[in-house]
Amino acid sequence: MNNEYIETIKSGMSKSVPPEPCIVVIFGVTGDLTHRELIPSLYALRCRNLLPKQFAIIGFARRDWSDDFFRTEMKNIMKKVNECGEKEWELFAKNLFYVRGDFNDDASTSYSDLRRRIKEVQSKLNIPDNVLFHLSTPPENYSAIIERLGRASLSKSESGWRRVIIEKPFGHDEKSARKLDDDIHKVFEEEQIFRVDHYLGKETVQNMLVFRFANPGFEPIWNRNYIENIQITVAEDLGIGTRGNFYESTGILRDMVQNHMLQLFCMAALEPPVNYDISLRSETKKVLDSVCRIDVEKDVVLGQYGSGIVKDERVVSYRVEKNVAANSTTPTFAAFKLTIDNWRWAGVPFYLRTGKRLKRKLTEVTIQFKPTPHLMFPGYKKDRLNRNVLTFRLQPNEGIIYTFMAKQPGAELKLQPVNLNFQYDTAFGISETPSAYQWLLFDAMKGDQTLFPRADWIYKAWSIIDAVIKKWEAEPWTELPNYTAGSWGPNEADKLISSGGCSWNVKD
């Protein structure tokens, strides 16, 4: 790879134009998401010269913090990831401010403090009246915050823009998602609303679209005539950590399947959008509209982890985790078989699986092609060996791998699967792919909704998952726990795929 090429790629990102000057207000700034993602991502944008010069962050939360305390807290978390040095951090940190307030306060108290602070910061730093609100609180606070923003006249501006980012989960079923969206629409217009699914901000997920629609080679065979099955694995080795309370009412179906898994499914299955813009959202919605009804008994496997060994360490079962009921039936694993009733995909199974405390962290989408129609090599049957597989490795070791058959060197004609391997780090000369949140925050500041799900997509995704949740909550259909931490999930998930004559591509 020549240096000039690598430099061109690297500078490509810094040549993008920063958004207009603005203030980002983070509700729930003392929480985990701010520490893990929001501040590191905003600072990374600063280091890439992708933030406007006039820029500030105002944190809003209940704790009794001062501006200085907020800055020190953020500095502590940034120690590990300080990309561009102490001096740059100091410049960034002096524009961090904090407002103490209660999300449920009357609009005339905490929210008028916030309004006052926004005005002060705008005039001090000469920032026009552009404000992006980021709701990173527990979801039950969303409607109250939005309503207060409206009442405190913070949702509109005569001279600038107002936008709002809503974190997932967006509702806990279709009905509550519709109610939440109605509440938001009482205060904000659709073009002001940015509903987050951070998987869409991942470079590797966007690259699935680039691979499919910027290269003519695979699209003609991207259909039922050539593809036998598509598999999506989102495996995590972590358990639920300190999120027991949240997870008990969420479980894997609401936490991962209704959003991230179904988004990946749409990326693999969608028709070519007209442009890389919000028309993408219409295509992902069409995929969900074509999903065949799920037979919950036959097409779904749910599970919950027992104790086991993960990365050489003994870990406890889900029911022993903090804030989890001793007889909890919350699922921590899900496997699905989905089919799509349309011209391109009729009869092709899509197998999805995701779980906590699985063997290792891995996110992959694999396209398993059909075998060659006739195998002329003596001694070889048309078995799985000669099927080509295209793997999108979304994390870790991001890349795309194409597995095909080759002749082993030697006098005899022996076939062997080999890999064509594209790796992000070596191809682009980067040690780490930029975080999803960087691009989502950047896009929201620019007003670009392409990578943010539309409400009707979210409703449809809920309607698919609600049926499964309802059945499970009424009567969990298996003994729990039913898989050992450190495994690939319940045996039933293997049976689900083997009943279709396939097996999971990732097994070790």
Task: Provide the binding-site residues for ligand BG6, judged by CB under 6 A.
Answer: 236, 255, 363
CB of 142 to ligand BG6, least distance (A): 16
In this complex, which beta carbon is closest to ligand BG6, that of residue 236 or of residue 321? 236
Residues sharing a CB contact under 8 Å with residue 289, sequence separation 6 or more, in sequence order: 460
CB of 260 to ligand BG6, least distance (A): 6
Beta strands across the sheet bearing 22-27: 96-100, 55-61, 22-27, 131-135, 162-166, 193-195
Cα 390 to Cα 365: distance, rounded to the nearest angstrom? 8
Residues sharing a CB contact under 8 Å with residue 176, sequence separation 6 or more, in sequence order: none
260 is catalytic: yes
CB of 232 to ligand BG6, least distance (A): 12
Virtual torsion, Cα 342, 347, 349, 350, nearest 10 deg? -10
Residue nearest to ligand BG6 (CB): 255
Beta strands across the sheet bearing 362-369: 300-303, 333-338, 350-355, 227-235, 362-369, 389-395, 399-407, 415-423
In this complex, which beta carbon is closest to ligand BG6, that of residue 30 or of residue 363? 363
Tell me how crowded residue 235 is: count the other CB atoms within 10 A of its CB.
20
CB of 372 to ligand BG6, least distance (A): 35
In this complex, which beta carbon is closest to ligand BG6, that of residue 236 or of residue 466? 236
Cα 368 to Cα 445: distance, rounded to the nearest angstrom? 39
Per DSSP, 507 falls in state: -
CB of 255 to ligand BG6, least distance (A): 5
Cα 446 to Cα 441: distance, rounded to the nearest angstrom? 9
CB of 166 to ligand BG6, least distance (A): 13
In this complex, which beta carbon is closest to ligand BG6, that of residue 254 or of residue 285? 254
Cα 426 to Cα 431: distance, rounded to the nearest angstrom? 8
**Cβ proximity of 346 and 340 under 8 Å:** yes
Distance of CA 380 to the CA centre of its chain: 42
Catalytic residue among 134, 172, 198, 260: 260
SS3 of 18-32: the string is CCCCEEEEEECCCCH
In this complex, which beta carbon is closest to ligand BG6, that of residue 110 or of residue 363? 363
CB of 182 to ligand BG6, least distance (A): 24
DSSP of 361-428: -EEEEEEEEPPPS---STT--SSGGG--EEEEEEESS-EEEEEEEEEPSSSS--EEEEEEEEEHHHHH
CB of 187 to ligand BG6, least distance (A): 25
**Cβ proximity of 41 and 438 under 8 Å:** yes
Residue 34, φ and ψ in degrees, nearest 5: -60, -45
In this complex, which beta carbon is closest to ligand BG6, that of residue 173 or of residue 236? 236
**Cβ proximity of 42 and 150 under 8 Å:** no
Q: 100 has which bridge partners?
A: 61
In this complex, which beta carbon is closest to ligand BG6, that of residue 42 or of residue 264? 264
In this complex, which beta carbon is closest to ligand BG6, that of residue 204 or of residue 317? 204
Smallest CA-to-CA distance from 122 within 131, 109, 113 is with 131
Residues noted as catalytic: 260
